[in-house]
Amino acid sequence: MHRILEARFLAPEIKFFRIEAPRIARKRQAGQFVIVRVTPEGERIPLTIAGGDPDEGWIALIVQGVGKTTRLLNSLEAGDQVQDVAGPLGAPSEIENYGTAVVIGGGVGTAIAWPTAVALAEAGNHVISIIGGRTRELVILEDEMRQVADEVYPTTDDGSYGFHGFVTQKLQELIDAGRRIDFVLAIGPVPMMRAVAEVTRPHGIRTVVSLNPIMVDGTGMCGGCRVEVGGRTLFACVDGPEFDAHEVDYDLLMMRNRAYLDFERARLEEFERGNHDGPCRLEQQIAALDGGDADSAPPQG
Amino acid sequence: MAEFPPPKERRLIPRQSMPEQPAQQRIRNFEEVNLGLPVEIAIREAQRCLGCKSPKCVEGCPVNIQIHDFLRAIVEERFDEAARIIKQDNSLPAICGRVCPQEEQCEKLCIVGKRGEPVAIGWLERFVADREREAGIPDPEPPRQRTGRRVAIVGSGPAGLSCATDLARLGHEVVVFEALHELGGVLVYGIPEFRLPKEIVRTEIDQLRKLGVRFETNTVIGLTVTIDELMTSEGFDAVFLGVGAGLPRFLGIPGENLIGIYSANEFLTRVNLMKAWRADADTPVLDVRDREVAVFGGGNTAMDAVRTSLRLGARSARIIYRRSDAEMPARNEEIAHAREEGVEFVLLTNPLAFDGDEKGRVRSVTLQKMELGEPDESGRRRPVPIEGSEYTIPIDLAVVAIGNSPNPLIGRTTSDIAHTRWGTIVADESSGRTTRRGVFAGGDIVTGGATVILAMGAGRRAARAIHEYLETGVWEDPEVARTAG
Ligand SMILES: Cc1cc2nc3c(=O)[nH]c(=O)nc-3n(C[C@H](O)[C@H](O)[C@H](O)COP(=O)(O)OP(=O)(O)OC[C@H]3O[C@@H](n4cnc5c(N)ncnc54)[C@H](O)[C@@H]3O)c2cc1C
Ligand SMILES: Cc1cc2nc3c(=O)[nH]c(=O)nc-3n(C[C@H](O)[C@H](O)[C@H](O)COP(=O)(O)OP(=O)(O)OC[C@H]3O[C@@H](n4cnc5c(N)ncnc54)[C@H](O)[C@@H]3O)c2cc1C
Ligand code: SF4
Ligand code: SF4
Ligand code: FES
């Protein structure tokens, strides 16, 4: 069991957590993730470690509520418990002093890119950060990015904030302006990552993306997370999750990520329904988590 | 009290049969297929034993259970004594009695089998263990003294559990680290409920808890904590690696990453560990109801996958295997059960390519017929493709069950533990010593995918060697390291 020390929304459906996990906090490196199970009967889901403190023994997670498990997690508050947290998993980001590094985050991808941006800055890179969202309130972690990056460019699809357009247009603008770029890290929805790869490809800029296939164990045991990179089948949980953006088969990734769409929709609907008409199933699940502890903070359903 | 009839009469007793759920009923549930022998039948079966002076069956058992003695105890209705005899050599009898390939081990050498069917040693072992469990296993005796030495066991499969048992009995402080959220290794995530009820694994683990063994789940050694840290900051005097062969192999043919092509590990993990068969589970498994399933491979894993797919409602379920009947490595009982349940066996056939639809879902597989050629290095005749024999069949779900490679996680973060070129850990067979002082290994991570009983035997041998090392402080490099490289 892992206690939640802090929980607050950064944007609608995007929540920041500090969770007790002393061993993982000591070990984690940028680019690694954990597998989380929220309840004793729950699904195992991968979440990137967004930060942590080895002395205080906690890690940070930033979670976008897209389906049942992430919404359930996002309904928890400080003082609640999470059943299982395993990690740190995956290969750490390859950090070097590349020169000028552009870190691109789309939506919750900004959270996943954030620890690597910190590491790139610490390694001496000039860090340019482009963080995008559909609309103003979906641009997250701008202040945090400003603390580490030398330049930060928020972008919104609807023009409600920052640069009006996609992150790729901003990147193209920088390239067109003759800015020297040595390295690009792009994390966000698959179409965004693919588009970034196409922008940098003609310029031969080394580009890395973090892939988000469906995982089960996260330790190399099931092969469910397999992706094709450079024509080879690799396991994202042990060989990645970061890969050369110019070599990834994005169509395959998108297809495989839709494998359980009907099931996921049904689960989410059920969950949302249970959330509105009582007796709330969510509360029962959380009660199970707390081990029936009556003093624990009441869940916000 | 029953007795042994005279030898002549013993030979006339036919091998008793195991009561089981009827095939048509069992393919609609996940409950155990074999129901266990009633007392009278068990005694009758045990009476078939000739009580050999130098019993061959014992040699056939990898851990040398004193089979003749426990069979005699059954006949004499001293069931507690039978359990005690078995447990001297096997700490997981309820499990081995169910899943050992008996026909290749104890029963293969049983003298009664020379002229008829061998004594059903596996079923009787299970009988004894189940009876003990149902009566309530007495709490294990606490070790007579505590040594103050600490041993870390990595992996909670049969190798790790048996190593932990012996070390705890010897008074060492034992902590088992497990990467997953549940304990038991393949026993919980791989082998299905209908063959090995998880309750049994849980009971065994509870026994270990009562012995004082501590368990830490969700801890991936090599990532959460390294071997170096276990032996320094975490204060362990020795480490046993029983991390299994976890990395699934794929066929390496076109279309293999289409949706609907699972490794057996993924399919079985979703269904067993994550309980995807339950209507209210959060973890999905692709719907096979009224669909066509093809499973590639001929081992226990393949049988488990194909029979699981039937229980999930598959319309047709096929085993596709590139060699013939005789070479199938699965236990005979599993093959027989699969046949009864309506599994179709497509032998001497190899897949060439998968094809899918616009959504990326697998729709068909192209197969090629094979014939048996010269024996290969394993002594089995090598399958050779027959040109022009290709044909395509429609499928909705494929499960690849052609084996596992060792998991590389430990090797990646620990440099001084030598691995073979197949990725297995180099370890001495008799002691489990690796090339690193204080670190031992056993089970599938050393042998490659093998059996529960072999993993258990390796765990126990390592426990003895670890005890010796902790007592004497003497370390010898493993023999194999000097010969292999
Ligand atoms: C390495 C990695 C790091 C990630 N880091 C973060 C992060 O820091 N913050 C964050 O909000 N999200 C992250 N994700 C995505 C997150 O794991 C999914 O959003 C989550 O699993 C969805 O579960 P659900 O039940 O809420 O939604 P569902 O309704 O089950 O699924 C919604 C979508 O999420 C994906 N998904 C579903 N199940 C899984 C699964 N078991 N594993 C992976 N993806 C799945 C599928 O594409 C699906 O269409 C990461 C994914 C990976 C692979
Ligand atoms: C589907 C299936 C059916 C089978 N049927 C039979 C059968 O009928 N009869 C039979 O005799 N054998 C059978 N086998 C084979 C048998 O299960 C294995 O040989 C046996 O389980 C090996 O035991 P082990 O302890 O070496 O490893 P495993 O049982 O694989 O256990 C290893 C454990 O270590 C954990 N682990 C791995 N890496 C780490 C790490 N870095 N840190 C912490 N923990 C880690 C794993 O999560 C796992 O729990 C079957 C195998 C499968 C897959
Ligand atoms: S452990 Fe296996 S081989 Fe040994 S007696 Fe029991 S069933 Fe036979
Ligand atoms: S070989 Fe067969 S008959 Fe002889 S002791 Fe063993 S089980 Fe009994
Ligand atoms: S998630 Fe199972 S192998 Fe990667």
Q: Which fold has domain B150-246+406-482?
A: FAD/NAD(P)-binding domain (3.50.50)
Do A36 and A122 sit in the same domain of this protein? no
Its domain, for residue A23, covers 2-89
Which two tokens mark B422? 């197949």
CATH 3.50.50.60 assigned to domain B249-404? The reply is: yes
Chain A to chain B, count of Cβ pairs less than 8 Å apart? 109
Tokens of A132: 């995008």
- A262 exposure class (CB count in 10 Å sphere: 0-12, 13-18, 19+): exposed
pLDDT at A291 over 70: no
Contact predicate B411/B405, CB 8 Å: no
Higher per-residue confidence, B281 vs A279: B281
Residue type for B29, please? N
Q: Is the peptide bond before B478 cis (omega within 30 degrees of 0)?
A: no
Residues in chain A: 301
Q: Residues B370, B383: contact at Cβ < 8 Å?
A: yes
The enclosing H or E element of A218 equals none
Tell me how far apart the alpha carbons of residues A222 and A241 are, in angstroms, rounded to a whole number.
Answer: 15
Say whether both A113 and A213 belong to one domain: yes
Inter-chain contact B223–A87, Cβ cutoff 8 Å? Answer: yes
Nearest by CB to A87, from B224, B256, B284: name it: B224
Instruction: Inspect the interface and report whether the beta carbons of A233 and B250 lie closer than 8 Å.
Output: yes
Calculate mean pLDDT across residues B296-307.
Answer: 96
Q: What is the pLDDT of residue A11?
A: 84
Q: Is the pLDDT of residue A292 over 80?
A: no
Of B292, B287, B297, which Cα lies nearest the Cα of B392?
B292
Minimal-distance CA residue of chain B relative to A2: B218
Pocket of ligand 5, candidates A225, A229, A243: which has the most ligand atoms within 8 Å of its Cβ, to mutate?
A: A225
Are both A28 and A167 inside the same structural domain?
Answer: no
Separation of CA B281 from chain center = 26
Greater pLDDT, A114 or B138: A114
- Suggest the residue from B178, B219, B223 to mutate for an interface test with chain A (most A CBs closer than 10 A): B223
Do A16 and A124 lie in one domain? The reply is no
Min mean pLDDT across A260-264, A276-280, B29-33, B316-320 is at A276-280
- B332 has a pLDDT exceeding 80: yes
User: Are B354 and B254 contacting, i.e. CB atoms less than 8 angstroms apart?
Assistant: yes
Tell me the per-residue pLDDT of B391-449, one tens digit each, with 9 for 90 and over. 999 999 999 999 988 888 888 888 789 998 888 999 999 999 999 999 999 999 999 88
Instruction: Say which DSSP state B326 is in.
Output: G
Residue A296: pLDDT band by 50, 70, 90 thresholds? very low
* Residue A10 in tokens: 């950064």
The pLDDT of residue B281: 86
Cβ neighbours of residue B446 closer than 8 Å, sequence gap 6 or more: B424, B425, B427, B432, B458
Q: Say yes or no: A253 and A153 in one domain.
A: yes
**Domain assignment present for A271:** no
The predicted pLDDT at position A247 comes to: 96
Task: Please say if the pLDDT value at position A301 is more than 50.
Answer: no
Domains B150-246+406-482 and B249-404 share a fold: yes
pLDDT tens for B456-476 read 999 999 999 999 999 998 998
Interval B192-196 mean pLDDT: 95
Domain ranges of chain B: 7-135, 150-246+406-482, 249-404
Check if the beta carbon of residue A4 is closer than 8 Å to that of residue A18: yes
Give the pLDDT confidence score for residue A175 in this predicted structure: 92
* Distance in angstroms (rounded) separating the CA atoms of residues A287 and A280: 11
Domain boundary among A33, A54, A89: A89
- pLDDT tens-digit series, residues B83-137: 999 998 998 999 999 999 999 999 999 999 998 999 999 999 999 999 999 988 8
Confidence class of residue A8 from pLDDT cuts 50, 70 and 90?
Answer: very high
Report whether pLDDT(A285) > 80: no
> Given a cut of 60, is residue A300 above it in pLDDT?
no
Cβ-proximal residues to B384 (8 Å cutoff; 6+ apart), any chain = B370, B371, B372, B373
Are both A204 and A240 inside the same structural domain?
yes
Q: Write out chain B residues lying below 8 Å of A89, CB-based.
A: 220, 223
Rounded CA separation B365/B363 (Å): 7
- pLDDT attached to residue A298: 33
Instruction: Let me know whether A108 and A83 are in one domain.
Output: no
| A115 belongs to a structural domain | yes
Is any ligand 5 atom within 6 A of the Cβ of residue A237? yes
Q: Model confidence at A288, in pLDDT bands (50, 70, 90)?
A: very low
Residue nearest to atom 21 of ligand 1 (CA): A45
Res B423: pLDDT: 87
Q: What is the CATH number of the domain that holds A69?
A: 2.40.30.10
**Is residue A28 situated within a structural domain?**
yes
* Tens digits of residue pLDDT in A206-230: 999 999 999 999 999 999 999 999 9
**CATH node for B7-135:** 1.10.1060.10
A78 lies in some domain: yes
For residue A189, what is the domain's CATH number?
Answer: 3.40.50.80
Domain shared by A77 and A207, yes or no:
no
Measuring from atom 42 of ligand 1, which residue has the nearest CA?
A214
Same domain for A71 and A106? no
What is the model's pLDDT at position B196? 96
Domain count for chain A, please give it.
Answer: 2
CB pair distance less than 8 Å for A219 and B263? no
Contact B246 A220 (CB under 8 A): yes
The answer to whether residues A84 and A132 belong to one domain is no
Task: Give me B360's structure tokens.
Answer: 């990326």
Average pLDDT, chain B: 92
Length of chain B: 485
* Residue B171 CA, ligand 2 centroid: distance in Å: 26
* Beta bridge partner(s), residue B365: B354, B393
**Residues 6 or more apart in contact with residue A68 via CB below 8 angstroms:** A43, A264, A267, A268, A270, A271, B282
- The span from the CA of A267 to the CA of A259, in Å, is 14
- Strands B404-405 and B247-248, by their bridges, are antiparallel
Say if ligand 3 is within 6 A of residue B102 CB.
Answer: yes
Evaluate if residue A112 carries a pLDDT over 90: no
In a shared domain, residues A79 and A123: no
Q: What pLDDT, on a 0 to 100 scale, did the predictor assign at position B278?
A: 84
Residue with tokens 């020169």: A99
Nearest C-alpha neighbor of B69 from the set B15, B22, B152, B128: B128
The CA distance from B247 to the nearest CA of chain A, in Å, is 5
Can you read off the two tokens belonging to residue B358?
A: 């616009």
B318 forms beta bridges with B294, B344
Max avg pLDDT among A280-294, B236-250, B412-426: B236-250
Regarding the beta carbon of B129 and ligand 3, being less than 6 Å apart is answered no
What DSSP string describes A134-147? SSGGG---HHHHHH
Q: Do the domain assignments include residue A274?
A: no
**Which residues, including other chains, have CB under 8 Å from residue B347's CB and lie 6 or more apart?**
B321, B323, B324, B325
Residue B19: CB atoms within 10 A of its CB come to 11
Nearest partner of B264 among B236, B299, B301, B289, judged by Cα: B301
Beta strands in B376-426 (DSSP E): 381-385, 391-394, 397-400, 404-405
- Is the alpha carbon torsion for B421, B426, B429, B432 positive or negative? negative
Does A295 have pLDDT greater than 60? no
pLDDT at B304: 97
Segment among B6-15, B37-46, B90-99, B103-112 with least mean pLDDT: B6-15
**pTM of the complete model:** 0.92
In this predicted structure, the answer to whether residue A290 has a pLDDT above a threshold of 50 is no
Q: What pLDDT score was predicted for residue B381?
A: 83
- Cβ within 8 Å of residue A176, ≥6 positions away: none
Give the residue, by CA position, lying nearest to ligand 1 atom 14.
Answer: A47
Among A63, A89, A115, the domain-final residue is A89
Instruction: Please calculate the CA angle B415-B418-B419 and round it to the nearest 5 degrees.
Output: 110
pLDDT exceeds 90 at position A202: yes
A289 within some domain: no
- Grouping H, G, I as helix, E, B as strand and the rest as coil, residue A148 is helix
CA atoms within 13 A on the CB side of B156: 29
In angstroms, the CA B434 to CA B483 distance is: 13
User: Would you place residue A293 in the very low, low, confident or very high pLDDT band (cuts 50, 70, 90)?
Assistant: very low
A87: left (phi over 0), alpha (psi -120 to 50) or beta: left
Same domain, A20 and A118: no
Instruction: Identify the domain boundary among A89, A117, A139.
Output: A89
State how far the alpha carbon of A195 is from the alpha carbons of A177, A198, A229, in Å: 19, 5, 16
- DSSP type of residue B273: I
Taking CA atoms only, the protein residue closest to ligand 5 atom 2 is A222
* Cis status of the peptide bond prior to B140, with omega within 30 of 0: no
Which residues, 6+ apart, have CB-to-CB distance to A262 below 8 Å? Answer: none
Residue A299, pLDDT above cutoff 70: no
Amino acid at A172: Q
